[in-house]
Structures are given as structure tokens and as C-alpha cells.
């Protein structure tokens, strides 16, 4: 038996007792390392303090932990019973590699979409331009058998034909909308895949980065599995946001142009912030920041997202949002615009009784740009 195949066979048998992702780590160490720091690995109640705080506040019923559908779908028992247990899956792979790479299709539903799995554990979907069909492990020999080489994975088949992995629709099972009992979308990403779209979930949040995707592949890049966004690789998000400035005699306006497929800052309690600073000679003028957020209400009073029957405030950035600053710009001024985000607002952190919330309420920069006059 080829030494490489023998090594892989023994390794697979050894790792079979470990969690699913540990098996994947053997051949995809770079991707596994990215995943382990990602919001997907940190999606569970035990890894995400904000989600934990929201679940503790959420009114319970006989269905139990219904959030498992998206926050820990790899925990089959929690998914079926609604009972939460601090186990290996919840801690290390609430949304596992196998789960994401076996999503065959997405069923669109009123309150939230549902992922349809292929049910296969040894054939995984992925996307790579120029490749078609399903491929299996191959061993090739040359120089009359004196030299051998291998191609593709010895562990599983790879299916390159699922269009959902090319257009980003694979993400829409969990990242399209989540309605509360009153039909109010508490995520409000307003995400939608259109064939005309230049950008997709994959191109924005899983950009190509340096490094081979496997230990036996000579490719120079791979799709980033840390999920670029407010947690990691925030600078890449600036590529999908443009500022357009209009100067008037008494004020100036900023158009924030959103080139992504969804509204910015839509998640419950999240807060976007646009800061503007003018340097005028030796003087620095800090303007009142503009806040992007949604607030929920019932009978005219502000309530938690799951109780809401209406949206009382919505200043999110959809395709475009215009912001006016009532200050006249002068010749020689240097205007600095900084757009950033807080995972959760100070008000939200207080409502959820989050301890040591400074990590969650810190201002994270997405884009900065200077304008000279």
C-alpha cells in the first residue's frame, strides 16, 4: 500500500474517536485554525456571551433551545430535544465542517429558512472555478512505477457541482432572516442572492488568502474560514463600503454606499457608528457621531426583540444611507470619516446584564477616509 495512503488510513482511524473537525484538521490545518477563531465555532451558548445572555432572557417553552437550528446544528441531541448540554460539540464544533459542507439546498420559509443536508458523511460540497463534477482520490504513477503521486482526498469525495456554494446561497439557511412570534425579523440582514450581484456571502466573507487549503495540495490560496467581518479581517470590509461627500454652504452630507447583499448593522442590539472629525489649523473639531441601529417596540414602548410587534427606529444602511452634518467646511480643512461597529450597544449590554461588556461594546473600525479642502 502506498505509504501516504497507509498514513492517512491509520490517522483517520485514530481521529475517528475525536470530534468531526479534528478529522478535518489533519489535512486542513490552516483552515481549521481559522475556523477555530471564527464566529461559527463561537456560535454556541457556551462560547458566545451575547448569545448566552439573550437566551437567558428569552421566554422558555416546551420546545426548549430552538436556537440550535443555527447556533449549534451539529449537536444532534440539542437539535432534536431542545435540551442544552455543555458537551464537546457545543464547545468545539457547534457548526462543524461537515455540517456546512453537506448543505445540499436551502428551503425558504416564512419565519426562518432551513438547511437541507445531503446526509452524506464522506462526500462534501465546495466551490472552485473551472472544476465540475464529483472527484475521488487518485493515485498516479510515472517513470515505470518508480514515482507515484496522489490527487484529491483519500478520505472523501469532493462535489464541485452545487451552485449554492458559488453564489453564496448556502449561507441563506441561517443568514437570511429570523422572525419572532409576531413576524418581526430580529436580524434584519435583508440578505438576498441575486444572479446579477457581483458580490456574494462567499466573496465578501470568505476571501482568498495565502496558503494551501490542504497539506498535500500545492495551491497558493484558499477561502478564508475565519469569516471576515466585524470579528476578523475587518479591513477587507472596507472594499464593500464607499463614502460620497456633498458640500453645501452651511453643512455637508455623507452618502454611505453599501455594496454588499444585506443591510449593515442589522443584528439585534448591534450598533454602527459614523465618526467625523475636522482638523482646522491647530484645532480639532469632533462632530456628534451618527448611530445606525434598529430599536423594537410594542404598544409604543421599547421592548426586547422577541417581544416586538413593530420597529420604532431604523437607521440601518441598506443600499445607501445619507447622513447630514450641520457644519460648514472651510478651505484648508481635513475631514476624517471613520465608520465602525459595536457588537452590542452600551444600552443593549445593560439590558442583557452583560458583565465585563467592554469587549463587546468597543468601537471596531471598518473604514477610514480623509477629505482635503
Q: What is the pTM of this model?
A: 0.87
Query: How much is the pLDDT for 343?
Result: 96
3-state secondary structure of 272: strand
Separation of alpha carbons 232 and 34, rounded Å = 10
Strand-pairing partners, residue 298, are 301
Query: How much is the pLDDT for 13?
Result: 45
Residue with cell 452583560: 354
Q: Cell numbers for 275, please give them.
A: 465618526
Query: How much is the pLDDT for 148?
Result: 53
Query: How much is the pLDDT for 195?
Result: 65
Separation of alpha carbons 290 and 347, rounded Å = 16
Radius of gyration of the chain (CA): 24
Give domain limits for the chain.
3-36+101-223, 234-372
The structural architecture, per CATH, of the domain 234-372 is Sandwich (2.60)
Query: How much is the pLDDT for 235?
Result: 85
The one-digit pLDDT tens for each residue of the chain (373 residues) are 444 444 454 444 444 444 677 889 989 999 999 999 999 999 999 999 999 999 999 999 999 999 999 999 999 999 999 999 999 999 999 999 999 999 999 999 999 999 999 999 889 999 988 887 766 555 555 555 555 555 567 788 899 999 999 988 999 999 999 999 999 999 888 777 776 777 889 989 999 999 999 887 768 999 999 999 999 988 889 999 999 999 999 999 999 999 998 999 999 999 999 999 999 999 999 999 999 999 999 999 999 999 999 999 999 999 999 999 999 999 999 999 999 999 999 999 999 999 888 999 999 999 999 999 9
3-state secondary structure of 153: coil
Q: Cell numbers for 267, please give them.
A: 443584528
Query: Does residue 271 contact residue 341 with C-beta atoms inside 8 Å?
Result: yes
Closest to 113 (Cα-Cα) out of 59, 179, 194, 196: 179
Amino acid at each position: 500500500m502506498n505509504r501516504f495512503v497507509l498514513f492517512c488510513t491509520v490517522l483517520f482511524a485514530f481521529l475517528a474517536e475525536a470530534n468531526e473537525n479534528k478529522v478535518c484538521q489533519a489535512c486542513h490545518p490552516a483552515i481549521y485554525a481559522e475556523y477555530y477563531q471564527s464566529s461559527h465555532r463561537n456560535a454556541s451558548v457556551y462560547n458566545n456571551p451575547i448569545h448566552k445572555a439573550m437566551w437567558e432572557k428569552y421566554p422558555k417553552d416546551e420546545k426548549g433551545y430552538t436556537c440550535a437550528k443555527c447556533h449549534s446544528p451539529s449537536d444532534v441531541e440539542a437539535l432534536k430535544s431542545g435540551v442544552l448540554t455543555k458537551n464537546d460539540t457545543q464547545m468545539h464544533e457547534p457548526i462543524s465542517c461537515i455540517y456546512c459542507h453537506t448543505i445540499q439546498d436551502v428551503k425558504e420559509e416564512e419565519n426562518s429558512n432551513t438547511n437541507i443536508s445531503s446526509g452524506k458523511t464522506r462526500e462534501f460540497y465546495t466551490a472552485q472555478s473551472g472544476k465540475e463534477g464529483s472527484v475521488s482520490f487518485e493515485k498516479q504513477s510515472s517513470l515505470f512505477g518508480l514515482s507515484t503521486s496522489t490527487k484529491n482526498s483519500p478520505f472523501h469525495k469532493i462535489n464541485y457541482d452545487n451552485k449554492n456554494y458559488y453564489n453564496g446561497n448556502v449561507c441563506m439557511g441561517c443568514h437570511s432572516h429570523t422572525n419572532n412570534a409576531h413576524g418581526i425579523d430580529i436580524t434584519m440582514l435583508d440578505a438576498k442572492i441575486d444572479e446579477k450581484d457581483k458580490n456574494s456571502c462567499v466573496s465578501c466573507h470568505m476571501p482568498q488568502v495565502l496558503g494551501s487549503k490542504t497539506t498535500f495540495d500545492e495551491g497558493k490560496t484558499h477561502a478564508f474560514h475565519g469569516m471576515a467581518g466585524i470579528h476578523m479581517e475587518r479591513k477587507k470590509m472596507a472594499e464593500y463600503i464607499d463614502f460620497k461627500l456633498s458640500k453645501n454652504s452651511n453643512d455637508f452630507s455623507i452618502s454611505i454606499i453599501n455594496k454588499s447583499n444585506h443591510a449593515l448593522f442589522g443584528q439585534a442590539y448591534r450598533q454602527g457608528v459614523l465618526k467625523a472629525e475636522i482638523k482646522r489649523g491647530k484645532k480639532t473639531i469632533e462632530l456628534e457621531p451618527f448611530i445606525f441601529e434598529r430599536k423594537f417596540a410594542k404598544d409604543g414602548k421599547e421592548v426586547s426583540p422577541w417581544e416586538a410587534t413593530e420597529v420604532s427606529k431604523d437607521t440601518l444602511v441598506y443600499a445607501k444611507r445619507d447622513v447630514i452634518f450641520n457644519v460648514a467646511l472651510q478651505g484648508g480643512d481635513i475631514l476624517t470619516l471613520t465608520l465602525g461597529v459595536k457588537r452590542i450597544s452600551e444600552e443593549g449590554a445593560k439590558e442583557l446584564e452583560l458583565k465585563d461588556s467592554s469587549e463587546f461594546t468597543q468601537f471596531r473600525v471598518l473604514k477610514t477616509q480623509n477629505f482635503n479642502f
